[in-house]
Structure 1
Amino acid sequence: MRITTKGQVTIPADIRERLGLLPNTEVSFETDGDTVTIRKAGGKNRRGQRIVEHLRGRAATRLTTDEIMALTRGE
């Protein structure tokens, strides 16, 4: 395995599949001497969870599902 000029390395497909490392999965790196460990980022630091928490309670109007669907359909 070689590191590209951009600092990228390919994680083999079998490892990605076994660990559930899908595209856009956030990971963290830990170092111990000359050893690097990559881990799936866990806890509340996940991007999707942060986005939902940021948006929660921000809706200014109370629309029903039917009203929202009518707006998205241009009715």
Structure 2
Amino acid sequence: PKAIREHLRLKPGDRVKFFVHPDGSVVLLPKLPAAALRGIIKSRRRRPVTIGEMTEAAAEGAAGVEPRAGRR
């Protein structure tokens, strides 16, 4: 039905999944591509790495310096 398609924001050609539960209820969900899930899980890092930190790490790696523990 149109109301359900609008609620799920489905467009022509979108795929859906049906799940039938043991009690007879049915769940209809849009089938999302894997790319749509990007960013859904929070990173364990507290903040992004800066360009300066990347440059420093690359220089240390090129010089054969072991990375310092706990530096984030």
After TM superposition, the score normalised by the length of structure 1 is 0.38
Q: Report which of the two structures shows the higher radius of gyration computed on alpha carbons.
A: 2
Q: Tell me which of the two structures has the higher relative contact order, counting C-alpha pairs closer than 8 angstroms and 6 or more residues apart.
A: 2
